[in-house]
Each structure stands twice: as C-alpha cells, then as structure tokens.
C-alpha cells in the first residue's frame, strides 16, 4: 500500500452508445452528445456539475473537433478541456487524464467522451485502409502487411518458440464468443468451436478470420470521473500504468514477450496496492487471439509460453479463475474504433456494480482493464474497484 499515490477518484457515470452491426452510425457530434447525456444521467448528477471534458480522438475524425469546441457544443460553460490524440495510444489513457485533472484541482467532475463513426463515413474498405496507415509509410507499407499481419508475426513466433497450437489460439475465440453471446448488444451470432475457428478462412497465417476482431460501423462511450464518491454505483479508479517501447515491429525487442507490458501493469497494481491474485476479472484488448495469450504471459498471470495452456481449460470463461472480456471484446461484441478499450471500461464498471446480469462475475471486486496502441507498442492498464 505504501506506493499508493493518493486517494482514488471515481467513475460515477458510464454510458455506451450502440449502433448495431452494419448500421450507419449517427453523426460524430450526435454520438458524442448522446454519450455525454447518458453518462451524466447514469451518474445521477446535474449537468451543471460538470466542469471538465477529456475527449478521446476518434480514428476517422482525429481532429474534427477540438475539446473546447465540444465543450461549447454541450454548453458546459467554464471547464477544463483536454484531448488525447490519435495514433499509438491506448484509449484507456483518457480516464487517467481525467483523474489527473481532478487530482490537480483543475476540475471536480470530468466528462470523458469518445465516438467513432468508422465504416459509415469511410466504408469498410476505407476503414481498413485507414488502419493500415498505422504501418510506417517508408519501411513497412511497401511490403503489404495487413493489420492482422502484425499479430500474425507474433503468433507465428509464439508457435515457433513455445509450441503454442492452432487449437489454443482458437480456444481464446471460442471462450470470448461465449461471453459475447451473453451480451444483448453483440454484433455476432452463433457459437464457435475450436474446429470451426481453426478451419475458418486464413487471413494472415497462422490467424484465421475467427481469430480476429470485428470491424464495426461505429459506437461511443461516455464516463463521468468524479473527485467524490457519488453513491454505491461509483467505481473507484485505483491505478493506471502506461508504457510504450516501440512503434514498428522491426524495433520491438521481442515478438512474444514484452517487458513494457509488465512495467505498465505493475505500475497500475502498485498504485492500487493490489497483487495479481487480487484481480477478479480482466478486460484485454483482443484484436487477435494471440494478444490475450501474450498479455497473460507478459503481465505475469502465467509464465512465458504458458498462455496457450492457461486458456485451454476454460480459465478465462465466466466461472473460471480469471474471466476475460466478459462483454465479448472486439472478437465477439464489436470494434467501433478508438473506443474499443473504452467498451472494456464500460464492462468493467458494469461488473463492479454487479449489474452484468447473466454474464456477471460472482463477487467481482477488482478488475484490470487493458488498452493498446498499435500492436502492443503502447499499453495502458487501469485498475478499477468496487467502492
């Protein structure tokens, strides 16, 4: 506990805007406004109590509106405003920025907003093209990697170094699909089996389509981060750690084990005065099924190379010893864009409030939420707890 860096702040309001599979997303500002209204209503606060705004840039509209413009649009009046830019950042960082503003005395109740209108503004091909720009224009794009190829290069090396099997890579998708099917807002239907995942069409070897994230047309998330606990539905933000170590995969010190991931997770845990064994569930960014395996290993839930065996016995399913992505994640709920990790935060808040219905983790008291920027290049971990 000695490393605890000050009292917690609280996520007292949480909201998620649903667009639906293949449906055109509402306009960017419409989504932001809906998320703002729903988050403040969820917190049970008057909008006049909001004196801060942290805006997460979206992928298709990285700089469409600056945060002062959005604050003005919402009629917030005098408020602290900030924005987390697009590119190489874990989306969880906006909750840290809101916490920092509260702790620095810049604001008392900070609205955190994110919206993406991906495929309805760019089309799915345009969305994929935009994602591809994450690769370096000079030294990576000339060789034709798809976004899944970044994860495929990690997976191939993991298979080579540790003997991880296609069945183990598939098992992650099967388990997380079970959770997605318990989410009334999921964009997928039908159970998966290890066989159906392995036999699905290859996108970038060794990864098949069912081992990869969905691409959604849009979505939004809103939160109210407060200095005071509003009521028993307020969730404590107990820790945040973040570290980047590279951007291009050619510069990564390893393709299978990442010290900066451990560093970021340890920072968050230390602030919270918590150990890994205290964590009741995890919400990991899951763009490809190799990523949760690498996270389990790099954070230290299991040893290097043991991720495949860890997931084989259903440990990451609700009822298992470490439920993961209880909303379905990007594999089996949706992938709206920059806000994917904020969907994970919404789910963590829902779990810690005990409001997750059929997918509720029993006695959920402490959750670890992961956000990722560009193929594990940058990682941000939040520790959230029941208040």
Partner 1 sequence: MNDSADAVRADAVRADAVRKVDPSGDVEATFWDGCSRREFWLQHCTACDAWQFYPRSLCSHCWAPTSELEWRRPAGGAVLESFSVVHRGSGPFAGYAPYVVALVRFDEGPIMMSNVVGDVEGLAIGDRLELDFAERAGRVVPVFTRAGKLS
- Residues sharing a CB contact under 8 Å with residue 30, sequence separation 6 or more, in sequence order: none
- Smallest separation, CB 246 to partner 1 (Å): 11
- Smallest separation, CB 117 to partner 1 (Å): 21
Site track for partner 1 across 165-204, x = CB under 8 A: ------------------------------------xxxx
215 binds partner 1 (CB under 8 A): no
337 binds partner 1 (CB under 8 A): no
Size of the site for partner 1 (CB under 8 A): 33
- Smallest separation, CB 252 to partner 1 (Å): 8
Q: Are 49 and 108 in contact (CB under 8 A)?
A: yes
Applying CB under 8 A, among 104, 250, 358, 363 the residue interacting with partner 1 is: 250
- In sign, the C-alpha dihedral spanning 221, 225, 231, 232 is positive
132 binds partner 1 (CB under 8 A): yes
Cα–Cα distance for residue pair 226/108, rounded to 1 Å: 6
255 binds partner 1 (CB under 8 A): yes
- From the centroid of its chain, how far is CA 326? 12
Cα–Cα distance for residue pair 293/91, rounded to 1 Å: 20
78 binds partner 1 (CB under 8 A): no
- Residues sharing a CB contact under 8 Å with residue 339, sequence separation 6 or more, in sequence order: 56, 58, 91, 114, 115, 116, 219, 220, 221
Of the pair 246, 276, the CB lying nearest partner 1 is at 246
- Number of other CB atoms surrounding residue 85 within 10 Å: 11
Q: Which stretch binds partner 1 (CB under 8 A): 32-40, 124-132, 284-292, 340-348?
A: 124-132
Cα-only R_g, the chain: 19
- Smallest separation, CB 324 to partner 1 (Å): 25
Q: Are 381 and 266 in contact (CB under 8 A)?
A: no
Q: Which of residues 261-290 bind partner 1 (CB under 8 A)?
A: none
Strand partners, 109: 226
Site track for partner 1 across 136-155, x = CB under 8 A: x-xxx-xxxxx--x--xxxx
- Residues sharing a CB contact under 8 Å with residue 271, sequence separation 6 or more, in sequence order: 3, 4, 5, 238, 239, 240, 241, 383
Of the pair 206, 239, the CB lying nearest partner 1 is at 206
Pairing of strands 52-56, 202-204: unpaired
Of the pair 149, 387, the CB lying nearest partner 1 is at 149
**Helical segments of the chain, H only:** 28-43, 67-73, 93-103, 118-132, 147-162, 166-180, 194-198, 259-272, 290-299, 307-312, 340-352
Site track for partner 1 across 81-120, x = CB under 8 A: ----------------------------------------
- Smallest separation, CB 82 to partner 1 (Å): 30
Of the pair 97, 156, the CB lying nearest partner 1 is at 156
Of the pair 44, 126, the CB lying nearest partner 1 is at 126
SS3 116: strand
Q: Which stretch binds partner 1 (CB under 8 A): 89-97, 122-130, 313-321, 365-373?
A: 122-130
What is the contact surface with partner 1 in residues (CB under 8 A)? 125, 128-129, 132, 136, 138-140, 142-146, 149, 152-157, 160, 201-207, 248-251, 255
């Amino acid at each position: 506990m000695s490393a605890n860096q000050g009292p917690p702040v609280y996520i007292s309001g949480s909201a998620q805007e649903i667009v639906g599979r293949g449906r055109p997303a509402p306009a960017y500002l419409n989504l932001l406004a809906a998320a703002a209204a729903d988050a403040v209503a969820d917190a049970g606060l008057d909008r006049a109590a909001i004196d801060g705004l942290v805006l997460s840039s979206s992928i298709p509209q990285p700089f469409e509106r600056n945060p002062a413009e959005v604050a003005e649009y919402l009629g917030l009046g005098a408020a602290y405003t900030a924005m987390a830019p697009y590119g190489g950042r874990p989306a969880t960082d906006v909750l840290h920025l809101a916490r920092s503003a509260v702790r620095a005395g810049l604001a008392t109740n900070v609205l955190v907003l994110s919206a993406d209108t991906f495929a309805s503004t760019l089309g799915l091909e345009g969305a994929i093209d935009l994602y591809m720009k994450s690769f370096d224009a000079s030294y990576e794009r000339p060789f034709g990697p798809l976004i899944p190829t970044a994860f495929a290069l990690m997976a191939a090396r993991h298979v080579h170094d540790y003997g991880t099997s296609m069945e183990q890579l598939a098992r992650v998708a099967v388990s997380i699909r079970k959770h997605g099917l318990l989410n009334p807002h999921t964009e997928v239907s039908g159970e998966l089996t290890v066989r159906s995942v392995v036999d699905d069409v290859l996108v970038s070897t060794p990864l098949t389509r069912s081992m990869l994230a969905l691409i959604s047309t849009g979505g939004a998330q809103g939160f109210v981060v407060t200095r005071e606990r509003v009521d028993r539905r307020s969730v404590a933000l107990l820790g945040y750690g973040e570290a980047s170590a590279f951007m291009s995969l050619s510069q990564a010190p390893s393709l299978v084990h990442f010290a900066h991931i451990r560093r970021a997770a340890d920072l968050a845990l230390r602030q919270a005065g918590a150990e890994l064994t205290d964590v009741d569930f995890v919400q990991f960014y899951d763009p490809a099924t190799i990523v949760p395996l690498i996270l389990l290993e790099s954070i230290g839930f299991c040893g290097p190379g043991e991720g495949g065996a860890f997931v084989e016995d259903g440990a990451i399913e609700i009822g298992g010893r470490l439920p993961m992505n209880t909303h379905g994640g990007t594999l089996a709920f949706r992938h709206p864009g920059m806000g994917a990790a904020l969907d994970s935060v919404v789910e963590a808040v829902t779990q810690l409030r005990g409001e997750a219905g059929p997918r509720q983790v029993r006695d959920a008291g402490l959750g670890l939420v992961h956000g990722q920027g560009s193929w594990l290049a940058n990682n941000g971990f939040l520790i959230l707890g029941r208040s």
